[in-house]
Chains A and B, each alone.
Chain A
């Protein structure tokens, strides 16, 4: 159930990012606004990672994060909720870049999956297969898969985050999973 814990962890973090009071953490009030340096130190690698996932390119993800944090830096005093701002801006910038580049493939990053045992080797093979299978998804399917299985957002939260209708989210998730299942069989 490791993945459940992972989802819960990331989800809690992102809900705070999204200023979701309903998350019950009470942190969304953000009474202790961080300094920009602290905000940058904590958020930049994480947002670069999310952007990398969305665009399938680590370097481009870093550049997107850099651009977005540059905006935040320049407007730090006037941005009321930088977490919300960054979150939305990362997603929008990723979409914009993909649209401009006319490409969108989550290319498997070069990982070091050292197979210490046959089980681990098998897990690595499956993982790499899944990563490669993700590359066949369309941009819209790719996005909902990441928001669901990386960010751990619910259907309605994905709809909120992306502006999609709930039915669209559901159908896209279903179609994306079907496509992945087909690709992996």
Chain B
């Protein structure tokens, strides 16, 4: 199969898969919509314990399973309190300021940028680094030569191409970002002096293919590479590993504040990395949390963040507060953003994947070997001008946002009480690895411990994540599922019964005569749902059966998903694309059940176990 045939086959195969998936979920469209209808804006808080339920979707023939226990330090449930009003800016200043911004922008229209002297190989991507008022562009030409071409933003002219010595294979990570230190461009693996056209291979760099290179930030002493979590000191030619870098740092570009690197992770949490302390601190809640990537820049006193779909945010370090400017400047621009600072203004432009610079009033963006002026937006804390759309955005005010309730407060020199951000552990890290044998396994968090059991094991173990040690053993064979109720009581289910366990003492307080095949969970009403392979059974807190519903087919790896207010669902492992859902349309005293199921295939599922309780 050649490449074109493979590509055609991929298109067909993926569309078939997607069509199958769409067909599979359509039968539950109505119930899904109904579910949302009951999800009011003031929903009950999510039950954190559910997050660790599951993990039981293990293949039937699984042997020597190893469970890596990951402790996550999410802080989604943080609520916020009102913030002091001093960061509010009067709307009356907005109009005049906006006019000023518009005038400023009008004096700096995008300009035409000449093409580079040597065209780049269209199959490769040159790496562009902003070096003061120059752009150092390193890449391959169509004849295979590695050259550097430099664009002088003040002269609007190129120099080069100049042939660059070829580095030994594996020295330099491909297509990684570089950072300008004032004398050289530091990439991961080697540093390049554009004046001397010389490479300097760095000592001690491990070209790990899994080293993630998204951002390179010069702190004045080191170049910090994120999210890979390594820093290079060009003065000493040494590398160091940064402590506990959050895993996913693609929520924004990093902004160097002079003391910290501020950056957002994929979940929306903002972090500040201090090279001096080698520590990460979560910033208070209040910045953008939507899914799209945002742009961040430090304007000397504040972190200014532009979220493309919602708003512009300002984080004032001195008060540890977020503010929001209503209105997004970016709807007409590209969604991938970069931000820079010019004078008092933070300049944000929609860009692709190249490098951007704001020099001499001109926003310049380079991409795939071409230089072109992009739409630009100028922002400060009171004004927005969308140059892409040639309009001044309506400015309401900077709306002071919140600080987390779990932060402490302190009084500053002026007598103002300001919140202090909570220092949280860096997430996530593996704290224990537990080997289990054949069959399904279950994991849950209760009583400050991580509980792990398995179908073929003889006990449930409790792990203290702080000390990374097993601190409890409960004799309990054949554990296929666990769930935690609202009082942090652990329920562990085997094929024949359910043990109710006090996680603080590690003792079984009672047993319920209902066996699971592989699914067990509590819903938002505190009712326990049991999956036996052939039916779902719902029990209330007293153990009374509220209702049952047949399911079309259980199977290996059947697991409950997180319950919502009115929907319980059971679905199978991805290896078996069948499933069922049960929708309870009314609550006791007269439960009424509607079972929907989409057609299961006909593979040989494991036989549901006997369930003597019924």
Contacts and interface: CB of A to CB of B under 8 A. Distances in A.
Contacts of B578: 110
A126 interface: yes
Contacts of B43: 74
Contacts of B336: 159-160, 163
A57 to B, nearest CB: 4
B309 A3 contact: no
Contact of B267 (A10, A96, A127, A134): A96
Given A49-B18, A74-B39, A102-B70, A168 B175 contact: yes
A59 B572 contact: yes
Interface string B123-135: 1110100000000
B420 to A, nearest CB: 28
A153 B90 CA distance: 44
A128 B124 CA distance: 32
Nearest to B578: A110
Contacts of B332: 21
Interface stretch (B30-38, B106-114, B434-442, B462-470): B30-38
Contact of A130 (B3, B10, B175): B10
B441 to A, nearest CB: 13
A46 B16 CA distance: 13
Interface string B343-369: 000000000111000000000000110
B12 interface: yes
A59 B293 CA distance: 27
B207 to A, nearest CB: 14
B404 interface: no
Overall SS of chain B's interface: loop
A37 B292 CA distance: 23
Interface residues of A, number: 86
Contacts of B248: 95, 99
A37 B174 contact: no
A166 B25 contact: no
Contact of B266 (A96, A107, A130, A164): A96
Overall SS of chain A's interface: helix
B197 interface: no
Given A6-B11, A49-B21, A100-B72, A59 B579 contact: yes
Interface residues of B, number: 81
Contacts of A10: 15
Contacts of A49: 18-19, 21-22, 25
Interface string A56-94: 111111110110011001100011110011011101110
A62 B41 contact: no
Interface string B280-311: 00000000001111000000000000001110
A123 B8 CA distance: 11
Contacts of A105: 574
Contact of A19 (B3, B17, B68, B335): B335
Given A80-B328, A127-B12, A57 B574 contact: yes
Contacts of B276: none
Nearest to B567: A66
Contacts of A127: 9, 12-13, 16
Nearest to A5: B11
Contact of B33 (A40, A110, A111): A40
A180 B309 contact: no
Interface string B44-68: 0000000000010000000000001
B309 A181 contact: no
Given A3-B12, A59-B561, A88-B291, A52 B309 contact: no
B475 to A, nearest CB: 29
B15 A6 contact: yes
Nearest to B125: A167
Contact of A156 (B13, B72, B368): B368
A65 B17 contact: no
9 contacts: A45-B26, A52-B18, A60-B571, A60-B574, A85-B309, A88-B291, A145-B10, A160-B336, A166-B353
Interface of B: 1, 3, 6-22, 24-26, 28-29, 32-33, 35-36, 39, 41, 43, 55, 68, 70, 72, 123-125, 127, 174-175, 177, 214, 247-248, 250, 266-267, 290-293, 308-310, 328, 331-332, 334-336, 352-354, 367-368, 561-562, 564, 569, 571-579, 601, 603
The 10 A-B pairs at the shortest CB distance, nearest first, are namely: A167-B175, A59-B571, A88-B291, A167-B125, A3-B11, A52-B21, A110-B601, A166-B353, A57-B574, A89-B291
Given A110-B576, A166-B352, A177-B7, 20 more contacts: A40-B36, A48-B21, A48-B22, A58-B21, A58-B24, A58-B571, A74-B43, A84-B308, A95-B266, A107-B574, A107-B575, A127-B13, A127-B16, A130-B6, A150-B14, A156-B367, A159-B352, A159-B353, A167-B175, A170-B125
